[in-house]
A and B are shown apart, each in its own frame.
Chain A
Amino acid sequence: LAKTTQPISMDSYEGQEVNITCSHNNIATNDYITWYQQFPSQGPRFIIQGYKTKVTNEVASLFIPADRKSSTLSLPRVSLSDTAVYYCLVGSTGTASKLTFGTGTRLQVTL
């Protein structure tokens, strides 16, 4: 399983765009990149998943360069409720595939 590296923490003001970059130099050909969000005392929640280029859904965008050795989660116009820990995971998809969580990035949004 590819190891991931993320900033430990980030701060942002409400209304700003937040970009969290994850490094995964050893990503394998069949690995996907998935981001999860976790609030205190709750289980993580899926945000977005991608393989290459750009993926966008109703809550975030995921940018993946051609070499796939990194990825950037982009949260547009964050609000206080986006304060959470964000995890970048890299691995093969499949319902029996294990997920390995790295340290995550603790995002603090303030007014």
Chain B
Amino acid sequence: EAQVTQNPRYLITVTGKKLTVTCSQNMNHEYMSWYRQDPGLGLRQIYYSMNVEVTDKGDVPEGYKVSRKEKRNFPLILESPSPNQTSLYFCASSLLSGSKRGEQYFGPGTRLTVT
């Protein structure tokens, strides 16, 4: 089954404790992206990647890091989480060409709470 998976689905952590949220897709998509969803603000892009070893900042990259060492994986790293990073995080992927280009497939979301 074609899908985007994220782990963990729920995470409660403390300020300053480094964490990683994994994202994996099995559709051979070139493009992957991370969003955060906050009430009243909709979805905001954190980072995106057009291919392996190619990443770029989105609208709200501060406090986050990403890497794209393999095509299928795109982990989100919070080196020193702070309470304002408490949010619902979504990973997404899509093709870059063809009739389905730009149609993003989303993961189930990771609810992060930083205390």
Answer yes or no: do A and B interact: no
Enumerate chain A interface residues (CB-CB to B < 8 A).
Answer: none
Interface residues of B (CB under 8 A from A): none
